[in-house]
Amino acid sequence: MLQSYLANITILLILNINILFVFSQAECKNHPFYANIKEIIQKSIKTDTEINHQAEKIFKSYEKYNSKFKGKTELGNCKIYAGHKSCCDLKMVELIEQASFLKTYPIQQMNDAFDQLVVLYVELMKRDCKKENIITVLPDQILANKRIKNFYNLRILKKQCKINFGKAFTALNRGIMCSICAGSDKINDYFENNMLKISPESAEAFQIEVSNSIQCMQNILTKENIDILLQELNNFYIQNNDNCTIKINEKIKKVFNENIISDIDGQGKKKCKATKFFLKNSQCEQSLKIQSDIIDNATKNLLVSLNQKHLRFLEENENIIIRFGGINAFLPSENDKNILERVISSINPQQHKIAICQKLSFFYFIFVILTI
C-alpha cells in the first residue's frame, strides 16, 4: 500500500517537473506580443533576402531561449530592461534596432506637402503654359535649386520637420519592439488582458514630437509663404509674362489653402497615437502630406475640395493601453541621427551616392553584428 502511494507521488512529481520544463522551454516563444512584433519585424525587413535569413535564425534562437538576468551591455538600446530575466540577447536587440529604422523608411520616402506643391506646380506649368515660355524641369531639380533663395531656405526648414517626424516614429518602433525584452518574471507589470501597457509619459512624448513636426510643416506652408514660393517659382521658370501664372497660382492656392495639414482627424481626435502601433495607421503616417487624390484631381483640372479635416475613418480596436507603471514605449537613440529626408537625386548624383552609402554603411554595421 505504502509502495503504491509512493509510486503515485513519484509519478506526480515527474509530471510536474516535465510540465515546468516544457513551460520554461516555451516562456520566450510565448512572451506576450512576441508573435505580433515578430510579424512587424518580418514585414519591415522583407525586401532584403539576406537579412531575412539571418532574422529567422535569431527568431528561432529567441523561441528556444531560457530567459536570464541581463545587464545593460547585453541589451543595447533595449537596456531599460537590464536587471530583468530577459529573453533577448544582443543579436535580437540589433535586429530590433534595424527594424525600427526600416519600418520608418517608407514614411521618409513619401512626398510631403512641400514636395507635392512642387510636383503640382510642374504638372500645371506643362499643361497651362506655352512650351516656349517655360524651362523644362523635374520636381526634384526645383527642390535642389539653391538659386531660388527663399524657396530653398524654406525647403531646408521643412527637411528638419520631416526628419523629426521620422525620429518620432523610430523611437516608438524601438520602444514597442523592445517590449519583448521585458522580463519573463515581470509579465504582469506590463501586460493586462492580452494588452500591452505603456506609460502615459511615453505615449505623450510620441504625440508631442509628431504634433510638433506637423505644426512645423504648417508653419512653412502658410498662405504668405505659398505666395512667396509661387512668385519665386514663376519668376525663375516662366518667361515672357505668360499669363498661365494666374491659373497656376489659383489652382495651387485652392489646393493648399483649403486642405490644411493637421494632426486632428475627422472626429476631432489626434491622428497619431502610440496605442495604434499594431494597427494600420496610414492616416497618421501621411500627416505631412495632402491626400494624393486631391493633388491628382488638381492636375486633371478637377478641383474637388476634399478637406482632410472632415474625413472620417473607421475605428479599430487598439491592443495597447496607457497605464501608470507601463513600459517606456518611446526610446530615442544616438542612432537616430542616421535618419535622412527623402533623397533628392536628379540635380546632384554625387550627393545621392553619398547619402545612399551612409544608409547602407549604417545597416551594414548592424548586419555584421547580426552575423557574429
Answer yes or no: do 197 and 341 share one domain: yes
Tell me the C-alpha distance between 146 and 144, whole Å: 6
pLDDT on residue 327:
95
Give me the domain span that covers residue 89.
2-94
- The count of structural domains within the chain is 2
DSSP 243-265: THHHHHHHHHHHHHHHS---SB-
Residue that finishes a domain, picked among 43, 75, 94: 94
Answer yes or no: do 262 and 206 share one domain: yes
Answer yes or no: do 76 and 165 share one domain: no
Region class of 301: left (phi > 0), else alpha (psi between -120 and 50), else beta: left
Residue that finishes a domain, picked among 71, 94, 117: 94
Answer yes or no: do 67 and 188 share one domain: no
Element (H, E) at 33: none
Answer yes or no: do 90 and 164 share one domain: no
> Is 307:260 a contact under the CB 8 Å cutoff?
yes
Answer yes or no: do 80 and 166 share one domain: no
- Tell how far CA 331 is from the center of its chain: 13
What's the Cα-to-Cα distance from 134 to each of 233, 252, 343, rounded to whole Å? 11, 18, 26
Answer yes or no: do 305 and 348 share one domain: yes
Answer yes or no: do 26 and 106 share one domain: no
Residue that finishes a domain, picked among 41, 70, 94: 94
Answer yes or no: do 18 and 165 share one domain: no
Answer yes or no: do 120 and 152 share one domain: yes
Answer yes or no: do 71 and 119 share one domain: no
Kindly state the greatest CA–CA separation across the chain.
112
**Would you state the cell numbers that stand for residue 121, as one nine-digit string?**
506646380
Answer yes or no: do 78 and 216 share one domain: no
Q: What is the pLDDT along the chain (372 residues), one digit of tens a residue?
A: 445 544 444 433 333 333 333 335 578 999 999 999 999 999 999 887 788 889 999 999 999 988 999 999 999 999 999 999 999 999 999 999 999 999 999 999 999 999 999 999 999 999 999 999 999 999 999 999 999 999 999 999 999 999 999 999 999 999 999 999 999 888 889 998 889 999 999 999 999 999 999 999 999 999 999 999 999 999 999 988 778 999 999 999 989 887 778 888 878 888 899 999 988 888 899 999 988 777 777 666 544 333 443 333 334 457 899 999 999 999 999 999 989 887 665 444 333 333 333 444 444 444 444 444
Nearest-10 crossing angle of helices 244-258, 113-128: 150
